[in-house]
Chains A and B, each alone.
Chain A
Amino acid sequence: MSQMSPTAEITGHAHSGRDEKIAFVIMAVLLVVAPLPVYPFFLMQALCIALFACAFNLLVGYVGLLSFGHAMFLGSASYVSAHTAKVWGLDPGLAILLGAACSALLGLVTGALAIRRQGIYFAMITLALSQMIYFFCLEAPFTHGEDGIQSVPQGLLLHVFDLSNQTILYYFVLAVFLFGFLVIYRTINSPFGDVLKAIRENEPRAISLGYRVDQYKLAAFVLSAALAGLAGATKAIFAQNASLTDVQFSMSGEVVLMTLLGGMGTIYGPVIGAILIVTMQQYLGQYLGQWVTVIQGSIFVVCVLVLRRGIVGEIAHFFKRSL
């Protein structure tokens, strides 16, 4: 897997992490003031997708497992949180937690199957399993098929915070994003994260050192699924709907693209990649129509041929920093 992680040489656990902390403060400050110049709905969309990409990157960037079906976690969590908030009338916070928990459970089942194979087979298995979930969502009665679940109430968070207020809603979504981001950051920089990187670099050696790599892989898979679910569940609450878009294959492909563009195995890469792709879809989508797909495909080809480290990876490599 060493080829999948071009930034590996500078992300050793011994680094001080000072650059990453400074970057985190800059990112947090920027996101706090961002709703002043930028439309908050778009920002919330970008934040949820960015968290989704970070969760995906935990798997591909730090364990070397390329999932081609991550939309199943985003989508199923968004259905669960939309359904529980609308039909059961649950607190939005609880609905989001339930959504994430369901994704974690789904991650446990699909992960246990997928980690039985490696590399390209892992990618094909996750793709096939996510197609299965897609067909399930298409036919299950509670998802309302093509219509999706519409007009989900945003509700009162903990009976105090009125999420129908755009400002409160934005800072709630931001808090969820920063929480998810910090969980991933802590995971990567923990002894557990070091074992994951060891598996990515040389799986047979990790096994020979006595690590039960399957358990580590499964734990990482479940965590990644849960965080992707957190992103999807939050998305359903702020956007007030859950639809097939979030569970279908193109979403799984997009998250791969965002992470590749930003930089696999970098902490900030997926965030940058997600913001770039969401911006492109938002502002160019109306002019370009189907050409967006062509552009996305071309970005894939260009990234694989000349930009394998991704944008953040290249910057980090150039300045010999860890980002």
Chain B
Amino acid sequence: MLSILGISTQQLFQQLLVGLINGSFYALLSLGLAVIFGMLNIVNFAHGALYMMGAFCAFFLLNGVDLPTLHFVGGDGTWAPVVSTVHVSLGISYWWALLLAPLLVGAFGALVERLLLKRLAGLDPLYGLLLTFGLALVIQGVFQNYFGASGEPYPIPKELTGARNLGFMFLPNYRAWVIVFSAIVCFSTWFLIEKTRLGAYLRAATENPTLVRAFGINVPRMITLTYAFGISLAALAGVLAAPIYQVRPAMGADIISVVFAVVVIGGMGSILGSIVTGFALGVIEGLTKVFYPEASNTVVFVIMAIVLLIKPAGLFGRTA
């Protein structure tokens, strides 16, 4: 077996694969953050919580939900209300979850934008950060009440079980699918925003909302849809992550600080920049696990510090 610096190539490629997987999630999440920031000028602190909601959504769609119901029971003329739960099994497959979870969580996002974030227009963007942070606490707290800290398993869809032998390593089919599919989603988003008419409206509304409204384009609706779209990217990442990591209430809180570091490194000005930075940092993190495992948790933050020293605006940032 070939070996580099005493590390087997098998192990190297395994960690590279894990890095690419994490990189896909970083890319999807930081892309959503960048899209939302461009349009609403807020940093969506609830992004991690909504990623977790996406994963739980897939879990509920497959396993069903326990709905609380109110009964009136009794005899002898006395009727007492009793709350019990009834299990509604759904059994909706992974493939439908991939479509439905982003739609459901995106709809929730649209509601949040309409009811809460809209009221913050014109205020310091820090208030948006604080509000979405509060929202993240609420969402995470509710899930923790029902599921505790432990994770729920989510099976790999049967079409994607198994692995193929590439000669130098075994590549599990599901992992290959996650990387390819996230890359496709990321680049479609880039194409949508940079190359289509809709994207042109979006970019114009980012630059000058008043003028774009004067052309008869419904900018408030566009803002709501943009927020919902950014959120659904996070939910999609959550569904993709569900079979790899367990579905846990804290999964969003664990990833959000790394994603913020990714955003600082890449700069939020560029769509392509956040995609590239996301994948690249995932890979770097994976490689660190091979060569210097003690630093694998902190390497992204160290890179952030270095980038801040050399290029404070971020690698792809336009202005500070």
Nearest CB in chain B to that of A130: its residue: B257
Contact between A116 and B312, CB atoms less than 8 A apart: yes
Contact between B134 and A304, CB atoms less than 8 A apart: yes
B2 in contact (CB, < 8 A): no
Contact between A3 and B298, CB atoms less than 8 A apart: no
Report the separation of the CA atoms of residues A290 and B147 in the bound assembly, to the nearest whole angstrom.
11
Report the separation of the CA atoms of residues A291 and B136 in the bound assembly, to the nearest whole angstrom.
13
Contact between B264 and A308, CB atoms less than 8 A apart: no
B225 in contact (CB, < 8 A): no
A127 in contact (CB, < 8 A): yes
Stretch at the interface among A35-43, A80-88, A131-139, A178-186: A131-139
B82 CB, nearest partner CB in chain A, Å: 23
Most-contacted residue by chain A among B138, B253, B309 (CB, 10 A): B138
Q: Which residues of B contact A (CB under 8 A)?
A: 42-43, 116, 119-120, 123-127, 129-131, 133-142, 144-145, 253, 257-258, 260-261, 263-264, 294, 297-298, 300-302, 304-305, 308-309, 312, 320
Contact between A260 and B130, CB atoms less than 8 A apart: yes
Binary interface encoding of chain A residues 282-323 relative to chain B, with 1 for a CB under 8 A from any of its CBs, else 0: 000000011111101111110111001000000000000000
A128 in contact (CB, < 8 A): yes
Q: Within the complex, which residue of B131, B141, B145, B308 is in contact with A305, where a contact is CB–CB below 8 Å?
A: B131
Report the separation of the CA atoms of residues A299 and B137 in the bound assembly, to the nearest whole angstrom.
10
Residues of B within 8 A of A289 (CB): 145
**Interface class of chain A by DSSP:** helix
Nearest CB in chain A to that of B124: its residue: A3
Q: Given the interface contacts A123-B43, A125-B304, does A132 sit within 8 Å of B298 by beta carbon?
A: yes
Q: Would you mind naming 9 contact pairs between A and B with Cβ atoms under 8 Å apart?
A: A119-B125, A123-B129, A125-B264, A132-B301, A135-B298, A296-B141, A297-B134, A297-B140, A300-B133
Q: Which residues of A contact B (CB under 8 A)?
A: 1, 3-4, 66, 113, 116-121, 123-125, 127-129, 131-132, 135-136, 139, 249, 253, 256, 260, 289-294, 296-301, 303-305, 308
Report the separation of the CA atoms of residues A121 and B267 in the bound assembly, to the nearest whole angstrom.
9
Closest 7 pairs between A and B when the two form their complex, measured CB to CB: A300-B134, A297-B137, A293-B141, A297-B138, A294-B141, A3-B124, A132-B301
Report the separation of the CA atoms of residues A123 and B261 in the bound assembly, to the nearest whole angstrom.
11
Q: Within the complex, which residue of B116, B144, B264 is in contact with A121, where a contact is CB–CB below 8 Å?
A: B264
Contact between A305 and B116, CB atoms less than 8 A apart: yes
B103 CB, nearest partner CB in chain A, Å: 24
Residues of A within 8 A of B127 (CB): 3, 304, 308
Residues of A within 8 A of B261 (CB): 124, 128, 131
**Interface class of chain B by DSSP:** helix
Report the separation of the CA atoms of residues A116 and B140 in the bound assembly, to the nearest whole angstrom.
32
Q: Given the interface contacts A1-B124, A297-B138, does A117 sit within 8 Å of B253 by beta carbon?
A: no
A155 CB, nearest partner CB in chain B, Å: 34
Nearest CB in chain A to that of B42: its residue: A120
B48 CB, nearest partner CB in chain A, Å: 11
B98 CB, nearest partner CB in chain A, Å: 29
B94 CB, nearest partner CB in chain A, Å: 29
Residues of B within 8 A of A118 (CB): 320
Contact between A290 and B141, CB atoms less than 8 A apart: yes
Q: Within the complex, which residue of B144, B305, B312 is in contact with A129, where a contact is CB–CB below 8 Å?
A: B305
Report the separation of the CA atoms of residues A290 and B141 in the bound assembly, to the nearest whole angstrom.
6
Nearest CB in chain A to that of B131: its residue: A304
A72 CB, nearest partner CB in chain B, Å: 11
Q: Given the interface contacts A125-B308, A298-B134, A305-B116, does A131 sit within 8 Å of B141 by beta carbon?
A: no
Contact between B144 and A293, CB atoms less than 8 A apart: yes
Q: Given the interface contacts A249-B253, A297-B141, does A123 sit within 8 Å of B264 by beta carbon?
A: no
Contact between A301 and B135, CB atoms less than 8 A apart: yes
Q: Within the complex, which residue of B120, B136, B257 is in contact with A304, where a contact is CB–CB below 8 Å?
A: B120
Contact between B320 and A117, CB atoms less than 8 A apart: yes
Residues of B within 8 A of A127 (CB): 257, 260
Report the separation of the CA atoms of residues A125 and B123 in the bound assembly, to the nearest whole angstrom.
21
Contact between B298 and A297, CB atoms less than 8 A apart: no
Report the separation of the CA atoms of residues A275 and B305 in the bound assembly, to the nearest whole angstrom.
35
Report the separation of the CA atoms of residues A253 and B132 in the bound assembly, to the nearest whole angstrom.
12
Contact between B133 and A253, CB atoms less than 8 A apart: yes
Q: Within the complex, which residue of B43, B134, B135 is in contact with A124, where a contact is CB–CB below 8 Å?
A: B43
Nearest CB in chain B to that of A3: its residue: B124
Residues of A within 8 A of B129 (CB): 66, 120, 123
Q: Within the complex, which residue of B134, B260, B263, B305 is in contact with A113, where a contact is CB–CB below 8 Å?
A: B305
Contact between B130 and A300, CB atoms less than 8 A apart: yes
Nearest CB in chain A to that of B136: its residue: A297
B128 CB, nearest partner CB in chain A, Å: 8
Report the separation of the CA atoms of residues A125 and B260 in the bound assembly, to the nearest whole angstrom.
8
A59 CB, nearest partner CB in chain B, Å: 12
Report the separation of the CA atoms of residues A20 and B300 in the bound assembly, to the nearest whole angstrom.
45
B310 CB, nearest partner CB in chain A, Å: 10
Report the separation of the CA atoms of residues A249 and B296 in the bound assembly, to the nearest whole angstrom.
19
Contact between A128 and B257, CB atoms less than 8 A apart: yes
Report the separation of the CA atoms of residues A4 and B304 in the bound assembly, to the nearest whole angstrom.
27
7 additional contacts (CB under 8 A) given A113-B308, A132-B298, A294-B137: A66-B129, A292-B141, A293-B144, A297-B135, A300-B137, A303-B130, A304-B134
Residues of A within 8 A of B294 (CB): 139
Report the separation of the CA atoms of residues A253 and B141 in the bound assembly, to the nearest whole angstrom.
14
